[in-house]
């Protein structure tokens, strides 16, 4: 989009996106539901829609109208195209006396007496209205559309129109229904009748009895299905609680651009057993590792019996930010490879090592640590949910 223009994005507006014309059926930040020809639906984020090249909001220029005409015609089926051709031929005959619009392309028997060039325009319109069993005003409107927009102006809007999923519903009813559904996220699975009854009772208590119009039973159920889509509101309780506990920010793929930008921390139960030296019993082991996302380098690991505790995760983080000491003479160096310092960066050596020369920090320190919530969890507190958590500058 052009940065120098300001447009208003609202439900019902027409946008050109991804080479097609769409109508905004629903605007629910941060996303928007687009309705295209032949009932096609597509949901995209508002930021992506406005940033995509070629996106245009509104339809004010002749170029946009021409592009929209092609899209409208491309969205028709064979039956709708045949109906459109017949209507265009009728309107051309009413305007020019010839179904193909020109004397050079006249069909046998044209022009007919009622559509002869000497007949008045109103007379031809009246004859065509009687032939097609429509009103004279309809024929006049078709003629104006054909002259302004070409054949695309005569497309039957019923083939392109699709009712918005939440169109016609009172905004107060929708807001209250969402509130009631959110209150049942941690409760037992409700029924649709219960949600509808509580929504109506709340609206009567807040706005007065009969003030807010309520949708019919069938329409109300359809609206509940639309606003609860993807929330498992009437499905499994476990899935509903997990979805409700997701972070507000949308999920996305982490893209690391340099070493140390993201450090992934995860715990996995292994099919490996170890003998407890105290009880002499075989116990299952768990592996906790920290990995740099940029080059997939393992920066720390710890193998623990039975289950991983918070101190084990802290030890892995400590190993990631403080390299292991040099191995003793005769031992094989199995330390993980730490990132080298770029040659163009100059840092005071006293800040990287202690008085005895022991390294204090690796050359590249982790900026962000991503913890994957597992079972059993690395940090078994309720505050660690949802499934993934990003700690920036605090880990």
pLDDT digits (tens, 9 = 90+) for 207-253: 988 889 999 889 899 999 888 888 888 988 888 888 888 876 666 67
Q: Rounded to the nearest 5 degrees, what angle is found at the Cα of 351, between the Cα atoms of 346 and 357?
A: 110
| CA–CA dist 341, 354 (Å, integer) | 18
| CA–CA dist 305, 272 (Å, integer) | 10
Across 2-6, 28-32, 57-61, 177-181, least confident range: 2-6
| CA–CA dist 359, 327 (Å, integer) | 14
For the chain, percent of residues with pLDDT exceeding 70: 72
pTM comes to 0.37
* Tokens read off for 77: 């089926």
Confidence band of 198 (pLDDT split at 50, 70, 90): very high
| CA–CA dist 261, 291 (Å, integer) | 11
φ, ψ dihedrals at 321, nearest 5°: -100, -5
352 three-class SS: coil
Q: Which residues contact 99 (CB under 8 A, 6 or more apart)?
A: 89, 90, 92, 93, 107, 110
Mean of the per-residue pLDDT values for the chain?
Answer: 76
Of 326 and 113, the one with more pLDDT: 113
145 burial via Cβ count (<10 Å: 0-12, 13-18, 19+):
middle
pLDDT at 221: 92
Residue 261 · residue 368 · CB < 8 Å? yes
Distances in Å between the alpha carbon of 125 and those of 96, 250, 362?
A: 11, 57, 87
Residue 145 · residue 137 · CB < 8 Å? no
């Amino acid at each position: 989009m052009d940065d120098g223009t300001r447009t208003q994005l609202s439900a019902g507006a027409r946008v050109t996106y991804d080479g097609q014309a769409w109508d905004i059926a629903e605007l629910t930040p941060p996303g928007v539901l687009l309705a295209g020809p032949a009932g096609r639906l597509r949901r995209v984020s508002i930021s992506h829609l406005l940033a995509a090249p070629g996106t245009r909001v509104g339809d004010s220029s002749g170029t946009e109208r021409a592009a929209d005409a092609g899209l409208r015609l491309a969205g028709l089926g064979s039956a709708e195209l045949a109906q459109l051709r017949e209507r265009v031929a009728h309107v051309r005959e009413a305007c020019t006396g010839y179904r193909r619009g020109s004397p050079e392309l006249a069909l046998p028997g044209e022009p007919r007496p009622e559509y002869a060039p000497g007949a008045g325009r109103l007379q031809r319109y009246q004859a065509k209205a009687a032939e097609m069993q429509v009103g004279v005003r309809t024929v006049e409107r078709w003629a104006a559309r054909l002259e302004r927009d070409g054949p695309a102006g005569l497309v039957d809007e019923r083939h392109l129109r699709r009712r918005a999923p939440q169109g016609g519903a009172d905004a107060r009813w929708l807001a209250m229904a969402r509130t009631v559904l959110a209150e049942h996220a941690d409760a037992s699975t409700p029924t649709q009748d219960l949600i509808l009854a509580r929504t109506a009772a709340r609206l009567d208590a807040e706005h007065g009895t009969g003030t807010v119009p309520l949708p019919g039973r069938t329409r109300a159920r359809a609206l509940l299905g639309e606003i609860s889509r993807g929330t498992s509101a009437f499905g499994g309780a476990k899935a509903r609680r997990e979805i409700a506990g997701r972070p507000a920010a949308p999920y996305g793929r982490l893209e690391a651009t340099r070493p140390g930008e993201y450090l992934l921390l995860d715990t996995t139960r292994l099919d490996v057993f170890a003998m407890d030296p105290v009880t002499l019993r075989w116990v299952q082991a768990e592996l906790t590792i920290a990995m740099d996302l940029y080059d997939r380098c393992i920066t720390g690991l710890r193998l623990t019996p039975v289950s991983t505790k918070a101190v084990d995760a802290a030890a892995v983080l400590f190993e990631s930010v403080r390299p292991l000491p040099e191995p003793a003479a005769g031992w094989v160096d199995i330390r993980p490879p730490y990132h080298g310092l770029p040659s163009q960066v100059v840092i005071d050596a006293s800040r990287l090592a202690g008085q005895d020369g022991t390294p204090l920090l690796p050359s590249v320190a982790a900026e962000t640590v991503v913890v994957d919530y597992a079972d059993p969890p690395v940090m078994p507190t309720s505050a660690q949910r949802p499934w993934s958590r990003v700690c920036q500058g605090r880990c």
